[in-house]
Amino acid sequence: MKNSLELSTPTAAIAFGLVIAVLMSFFFYWGVQRRKLEDLSNEEMSLRTEIEQLETIGNWTLEYVKIDKAVDFLSEKKLSPDARRRLTEQLWQISHAYSIDPLMILAVVAQESHGNPNARGRMQSGAYSGALGLMQIKLETAQKMAWRFGLRVHSEEDLFKPEVNVTVGTAYLIRLIGKYGNWKEALVAYNLGHSAVDRLLERGRPLPMRYYERVISKYKVLASRPIL
């Protein structure tokens, strides 16, 4: 006689089938939930990426507006809307390509030419010094620097184009920063010439700080101006 606890073959088969069905249902439910979690995770990553992109675009927009406002402030309407746009775009691109504060460049512009794209430098005697345009660059220096940005500077007239002048002037300034390792000596060298600064440093003599202080003062004015 069979033990009462033993299941008959049909009953055991049914029980086994029920267990398999429960397990299959569980794994199906688990798979559905897993896919939902993966979809939610992907959506979250996508949203984070979009937010980061919007923040980046927002920062770029604010930087562009800040540069544009500073250019307009310095030029006092001396630039046409098209020239102002080209100059703003060029400064924005330079600042990102070389991690340089565009307002520092414009502070140099303010000190050198007061934002006048047609400025011609003069020596104490009254004779023209050869320094031209927004950043008061001489033709020889401009031609040496122009190749860094794939530009061609053929004549002095090219230096009266604001975007060209600022590009080669910034290239020269970046070179001086690389040489001296700091803004202070680089700006003094921009004003006096690097040979004069080298001689002063070699002799242990103090550098004249008036030009540097004036540029920093103008930078603070530009940086403190409201964007809107």
C-alpha torsion 74→126→185→176, nearest 10: 80
Write out the residue range of the structural domain in which residue 143 sits.
51-224
Give one word for 183, left, alpha or beta, with left for phi > 0 and alpha for psi -120 to 50.
alpha
In a domain, 43, yes or no: no
The helix/strand/coil state of 38 is: helix
In a domain, 33, yes or no: no
* Domain total of the chain: 1
In a domain, 4, yes or no: no
Q: Which residues have a Cβ under 8 Å from the Cβ of 180 and sit 6 or more positions away?
A: 186, 189, 197
The helix/strand/coil state of 202 is: helix
What is the pLDDT confidence band of residue 62, given thresholds at 50, 70 and 90? Answer: confident
Q: Which residues have a Cβ under 8 Å from the Cβ of 123 and sit 6 or more positions away?
A: 129
**31-63: burial string, b at 16+ Cβ within 10 Å, e else:** eeeeeeeeeeeeeeeeeeeeeeeeeeeeeeeeb
Q: What is the CATH number of the domain that holds 134?
A: 1.10.530.10
In a domain, 129, yes or no: yes
pLDDT in tens, 113-128: 999 999 999 887 878 8
Q: Which residues have a Cβ under 8 Å from the Cβ of 173 and sit 6 or more positions away?
A: 100, 105, 108, 135, 186, 187, 190
> What's the mean pLDDT in 54-73?
73
In a domain, 188, yes or no: yes
In a domain, 181, yes or no: yes
What angle separates helix 183-192 from helix 194-202, to the nearest 10 degrees? 120
d(CA 130, CA 140): 9
In a domain, 137, yes or no: yes
Q: What is the DSSP letter of 122?
A: E
pLDDT in tens, 140-194: 999 988 887 778 899 999 999 999 999 999 999 999 999 999 999 999 999 999 9
In a domain, 205, yes or no: yes
The region of weakest confidence among 28-37, 61-70, 71-80, 167-176 is: 28-37
> What predicted TM-score, i.e. pTM, was given to this entire model?
0.72
